[in-house]
Structure 1
Amino acid sequence: MNSTLAKLAVPIGVVGIILLLVVPIPAGLLDVLIIVNILLALVTLLTTMFVKKPLDFSVFPSLLLVATLFRLGLNVASTRLVLGEGYAGQVIASFGHVAVGGSIIIGAVIFLILVVIQFVVVTKGAERVAEVGARFTLDAMPGKQMAIDADLNAGLITDVQAKERRAEVSAEADFYGAMDGASKFVKGDAIAGLIIIIINLIGGIAIGMLQRGMEVGDALNTYALLTIGDGLVTQIPALLMAVSTGMIVTRSNAESDIGATASAQLTQSRTALMIAGAAAILMALIPGMPIIPFIVVGAGLIVISQRIKGNEAKARAGAAAAAAVEGLAPRSDTAEDLIEQMRVHALEIQLAPDLVDLVSGASDDLLARVRALRRKVAIDLGMVVPPVRTRDNVDLPPSTYAIRIAGVEAGRGIAPAGKVLALGENLESLPGTATVEPVFGLAGKWVPGEMRPRAEMAGATVIDRVSVLVTHLSSIITGNAARLLTREDVRVLTDGVRQVSPSAVDDLIPGLLSLAEVQRVLQGLLAEQIPINDLPRIYEALSVRAKVSADPEGLVEAARQALGPALTALYLDGAVLRVIMIEPGLEQSMLEGMRPSDQGSQILLDPVRIDAILGSLRTAMATVEASGLTAVLVCAPALRPAIRRLVSAQAGGLPVLSYEEVTSARVAIETVGVVRGTETIAA
């Protein structure tokens, strides 16, 4: 029942306000409504003082609109009574006679002062603060969202916490946007109150003289006092609401209400209080000044400063005792804490203590860049990179970072604070420390940040240290994508495919292949840096192949063949695919020497001949690279897995494609070399 009344209170109140504008009401009811208006404004003002953050009073913009409409309705109702009956209730009469002593001049001056305070000081300032607050909040919204995503990527918060923080950021933007508009209500209310008081004054005098035959003085005395009383009883709550508006838009998020915060911050400096107290006592010595008030106030400030000194000493002693107890207390050894300490993170960046500024916002934000990298890898490879945990490690040398995969270090580099990496030739003239870029092995030098323009003028490519770290991380993620793809990731990806192509999943899993077998196939593709974005096509190809054989190598080749055009597109130079062929006789010998094994098919040939083949391939690659070109090695489909396994460690990651993968793309093919068992012929 109470819940229902609470829901209906505001709608019923708004309907009543609308009726107030058109339906006459008795003077007694008007007194009640005026008292309600004053108390509503007072409660609203006190509430704004006790909230800890603006969003705790998020209904304020709507409440401000209703309160403004309510006051205008009371203005209309009181005007109707003042002009029609010459009496508008005891509240207005009391304000007109008692509050201003029955003086029209005093009442008019007080009313004008209240209007100036509200309109020029409070309303104008609150309007500007609300406008600036709305602009800054909206401008900062993307950065806050990125910070939330960065914390989520770093594993500092959970998905639920990230969702709550995003909702809070959105609500904060909506609130300040609404306050920017609601502040116009206060400004309009002040203008309306001034216009209504003028209309009432002129109308009252006219009615008194023309309709009731009163003298000018009598009409002015009667209607002017009622009009001023009417203006005061509505202007005072309007001023309270204007102050509430300024209070709420100037509030920042705090751990306590404004009273506690103001007391704590005003008394945080003992020296300031002592100087102010001494200044008050000195001012008492000025001839003509009241001695007792200044001395009392000054002595009070000095006493407060001394109490603050005692409290600070007690606080320091308590903090020291707490620190001692904490140092002696053993670390928590609950099962949950131990499990968390033992947990191995899929991806982790460890930073030396002097590199923590990379994640503290003092420099280019590493966490935001990692978030962007995760998105890029997801788009490029079609896999979800696990969150990257970032923490400091005091065991690392200064300026050093280490990248770990599943607890094992996969790469290490340096990123000195205040320096940038210059890559290129002719770096001898630049001061700094020589180094080798960790991804491409290029010679470079870490130079001071202020030398960046000079390094660029020298023709060097200059890279900031966060970019160096993120590039290194990207290389490690790409090279270890197969290790990072977990079974849970495969399940999530499969659920996504089921939403767009349910038949591709239902035909394959679990009837033909298990989730573990599908994971192994996808890992085989990622091991050769083949994107798995087109999962529906991959699953369809696996469904056909799995009906014949569930051999992992055959499944990977079936998936590759289905992705043939996409694979070929990765290595095109313009519209041309440059290839290195294998001499047909040698290829036939390889087919005859191919044998299955637990690790996949292998080519069994004489070791001397294998060395000659690899030497011939290296010569072909050197010839192609000398021409500034790139090429791929092509061979028969049955040979492709075995040849790739043979040359992967010898040819620097040379891509190996099958004839079917190349021909399915329908592109122009240019042969740039032929591999023989004894020599290489360059085209």
Structure 2
Amino acid sequence: MNSMASLMRLPTQFFSGNQFKGLAGPILIILILSMMVLPLPPFLLDLLFTFNIAMSVMVLLVSMYTMKALDFAAFPAVLLFSTLLRLSLNVASTRVVLMHGHTGPDAAGKVIEAFGHFLVGGNFAVGVMVFVILVIINFMVITKGAGRIAEVGARFMLDAMPGKQMAIDADLNAGLIGEDVARKRRTEVAQEADFYGSMDGASKFVRGDAVAGLMIMVINIIGGLVVGVVQHGLDFSTAGTTYTLLAIGDGLVAQIPALVISTAAGVIVSRVTTEEDVGRQLTGQLFSNPQVLFLTAGIIGLMGMIPGMPNLAFLLIAGALAWGGRALLRRKPPETAERGAAVQVAQTPAAEAAAEASWDDVAMVDPLGMEVGYRLIPLVDQSQQGELLGRIKSIRKKIAQEIGFLVPVVHIRDNLEIKPNSYVISLKGVEIGRGEAFPNQWMAINPGQVTGNLPGTPTTDPAFGLPAVWIDGSLRQQAQIYGYTVVDACTVMATHLNHLIQTHAAELLGRQEVQQLLDQITKAEPKLTEDLVPKVVSLSTLHKVLQNLLDEEVSIRDMRTILDVIAEHAPTIKDATELTSMVRLALGRAITQQLFPGDAELQVIGLDASLDAVLQQAMTSSSGIEPGLADNLLRQTQAAITRQEQIGLAPVLVVQHSLRVLLARFLRRSLPQLKVLSHAEIPDTRNIKITATIGGRA
């Protein structure tokens, strides 16, 4: 019994809910094919023709009540199925007309008879004219216009896709939306493009349906004459009248739903997306101005007074328009007016509120921004396999792991005012870097020891200033053989951005980032930050110490050591520069390891003893470095750096701890590649070798 009950429940479960909806498409296809092959009785034809008319009306109403095109995304498929249904009904009705048309006007059902007799008064000449007019309206006006709108809409939608994708990615990078929302918005953009592309193609079905309806009508008339006269012995006049009226009824019962469906297609593709359906748009925008109604009423009323015109009809319409305008005036709230000596101002409260400025009008500058020319849009558009956004995410993650804090997101925008292949990198709204990139070419960078020249566009590596050349992809392997470093356009931009971020890391570290660092440390080690900020040291002082470290490219990943040193010395040392020196002493091993990996000997630049003494005296007297000594110091330091780079050594200057801050500040302005260490920062386990000396002569 249980098994029998289960079997009885199977059909109910199978045809319930979404499973039944999934069968609607296959069932409709089977019905359409069956109507083309199997003969149908007149009563079933009446049901199917009625269903076709009802479905066309439903489609039109649904299209009228949609807020945006994607609300009726199934419309192209509905258009296809409705066209196939009409054509299959034409085939089925043609079969019945030719086989049984001689029996009378109701041979193909009551619906065809009603359209053939009642709608055109039984006059086949009038019926033919009405049918041809309907075909022309459908084919030449509605379908052609809707198809053109769909074609232009698809073209503009495809052109706008990169900009929309960039906007979504920019909002995602800015943290304004989550990954799920971004994925949903990307899907909607793709669906809009697919919809308008499908509508462009689906409009061809309706055009073909109109042509097919005209041909089917001609076939029905000619075929009916042949069948009626030859096979059934009817006279030519009787056969012509009978079969022509049946053909007209068959054509009209198919073309009227086709006209309705075409109108729905025009409504779908021609409407502007708003928060209102088409009906509200029409009534709200067409009949919302009482002045328009009054002027129209006046014009129609004047025309109605002309002798020989249908005065009653014109005056009735004019009266209705005037009444509508008066009703609108009564519904409108009274406007407040202020009259001055020479100026009259009338504003509603809503207008005043709209004109008033607010804090929402203040646009904050982006901490990090990149503007690209239009030819570089494919590099930042994920729908076109652009890799730059992924590279930027990797850069932010890599920098966070290396220097110890998360840099702000990079807001990317297109800019038509810059060159097509140019890009601009800005920091807090100010340009800090600019370059050019060519998406379909490669940059061959000359590291200094290449064995040949390459044809291409000479340029300079934007990140490090090395000579380079833009080459075609076919020369990539040859460039590598010559000793060039070959990178693509996306890598050029990403490397440039990475270099600038590391160079300006101190400016990117704001008070908010410092507070986020403290919050992260508090979660892991609450005792470390307990009572430190602001009781022991202020947030501003901590911020300045961290910026000083980043200025000299010292990582702040070891926040435990940094906070320990500050907690120890902050009660007695309030100056951020002195606190930075104390922190550097504690981080000396990490700083040395960063400049000289492994345990190799430190081959560095040193100061001549006499110069050391002069600088110590200048610090003691607070008189500063004399101009002549400063010029000589810069010149000799530059020569020492050149010697170090020629033998492949890092440009590092080692001085006494008391001189380190002075020389670091002075030399960093002109020689940013130079790193200044103090002897106290170098671990005792590392050996030092002076490979170049800076003399002390002025």
TM-score band by shorter chain is 0.5 to 0.7
5+ long unaligned stretches in structure 2? 1-15, 102-106, 338-346, 372-376, 382-386, 400-405, 413-425, 432-496, 518-523, 526-545, 557-584, 678-690
| TM-score normalized by the length of structure 1 | 0.59
Q: 1:17 to 1:377 in 2, by over 3 A?
A: closer
Q: How does 1:551-570 map to 2 (within 5 A)?
A: 552-561=587-596
Q: How does 1:350-429 map to 2 (within 5 A)?
A: 382-383=398-399, 385-387=407-409
Q: Does 1:270 align with 2:290?
A: yes
Q: Does 1:619 align with 2:642?
A: no
Whichever residue aligns with residue 64 of structure 1, its letter is L
| TM-score normalized by the length of structure 2 | 0.58
- C-alpha distance in 1, partners of 2:555/2:247? 80
Task: Please name the residue that 1:480 is paired with.
Answer: 506
- C-alpha distance in 2, partners of 1:36/1:105? 28
Q: 1:635 to 1:168 in 2, by over 3 A?
A: closer
- C-alpha distance in 2, partners of 1:489/1:68? 62
- C-alpha distance in 1, partners of 2:302/2:651? 101
TM superposition shift of 1:305: 1.9
- C-alpha distance in 1, partners of 2:429/2:199? 51
Task: Please name the residue that 1:183 is paired with.
Answer: 203
Q: 1:298 to 1:553 in 2, by over 3 A?
A: farther
Whichever residue aligns with residue 478 of structure 1, its letter is H
| Deviation per residue, 1:359-391 (Å, 9 max, x gap) | 9xxxxx9xx99xx9998876777546424799x
Q: How does 1:267-306 map to 2 (within 5 A)?
A: 267-306=287-326
| Contact 1:644-1:656 within 8 A present in 2 as well | no
- C-alpha distance in 2, partners of 1:630/1:476? 26
Q: Does 1:57 align with 2:69?
A: no
- C-alpha distance in 2, partners of 1:562/1:41? 77
Q: How does 1:667-678 map to 2 (within 5 A)?
A: 675-678=693-696
| Deviation per residue, 1:121-178 (Å, 9 max, x gap) | 1111111111111111111121222233444455555554443333222221111111
Aligned to 2:213, which of 173, 193, 201?
A: 193
- C-alpha distance in 2, partners of 1:263/1:270? 13
Aligned to 2:184, which of 161, 164, 178?
A: 164
TM superposition shift of 1:607: 4.7
Two-structure CA RMSD over aligned residues (Å): 5.4
- C-alpha distance in 1, partners of 2:299/2:656? 89
Task: Please name the residue that 1:203 is paired with.
Answer: 223
| Deviation per residue, 1:213-270 (Å, 9 max, x gap) | 2222222122221111111111111111111111110011111111111111012332
Q: 1:75 to 1:324 in 2, by over 3 A?
A: closer
| Contact 1:93-1:229 within 8 A present in 2 as well | yes
**What is the identity percentage for the equivalent residue pairs of Structure 1 and Structure 2?**
37
TM superposition shift of 1:552: 4.3
Aligned to 1:30, which of 45, 48, 61?
A: 45
Q: 1:478 to 1:298 in 2, by over 3 A?
A: same
DSSP 3-state at the match of 1:88: coil
- Between the two proteins, the alignment pairs up a number of residues equal to 488
DSSP 3-state at the match of 1:582: strand
- C-alpha distance in 1, partners of 2:555/2:331? 64
Whichever residue aligns with residue 79 of structure 2, its letter is L
| Contact 1:640-1:657 within 8 A present in 2 as well | no
Task: Please name the residue that 1:14 is paired with.
Answer: 29
Q: Which segment is superposed worse, 554-563 or 109-118? A: 554-563
- C-alpha distance in 1, partners of 2:279/2:661? 73
Whichever residue aligns with residue 648 of structure 1, its letter is A
- C-alpha distance in 1, partners of 2:94/2:139? 22
Q: How does 1:235-254 map to 2 (within 5 A)?
A: 235-254=255-274
Task: Please name the residue that 2:571 is paired with.
Answer: none
| Contact 1:348-1:389 within 8 A present in 2 as well | no
Q: 1:92 to 1:167 in 2, by over 3 A?
A: same
- C-alpha distance in 2, partners of 1:8/1:162? 33
- C-alpha distance in 1, partners of 2:283/2:586? 75
Q: Does 1:654 align with 2:672?
A: yes
Task: Please name the residue that 1:457 is paired with.
Answer: none
DSSP 3-state at the match of 1:649: helix
- C-alpha distance in 1, partners of 2:113/2:293? 46
5+ long unaligned stretches in structure 1? 332-340, 342-346, 352-358, 360-364, 391-403, 414-470, 491-508, 511-521, 533-549, 564-579, 594-603, 660-672
Task: Please name the residue that 1:101 is paired with.
Answer: 121
Q: How does 1:307-326 map to 2 (within 5 A)?
A: 307-314=327-334
TM superposition shift of 1:606: 3.6
Task: Please name the residue that 1:362 is paired with.
Answer: none
Q: 1:640 to 1:676 in 2, by over 3 A?
A: closer
Q: 1:103 to 1:161 in 2, by over 3 A?
A: same
Aligned to 2:57, which of 37, 42, 53?
A: 42
Q: 1:379 to 1:324 in 2, by over 3 A?
A: closer
TM superposition shift of 1:118: 0.4
TM superposition shift of 1:296: 2.0
DSSP 3-state at the match of 1:99: coil
Q: 1:47 to 1:560 in 2, by over 3 A?
A: farther
- C-alpha distance in 1, partners of 2:606/2:595? 24
- C-alpha distance in 2, partners of 1:96/1:105? 11
| Contact 1:134-1:173 within 8 A present in 2 as well | yes
Q: 1:291 to 1:649 in 2, by over 3 A?
A: same
- C-alpha distance in 1, partners of 2:238/2:116? 15
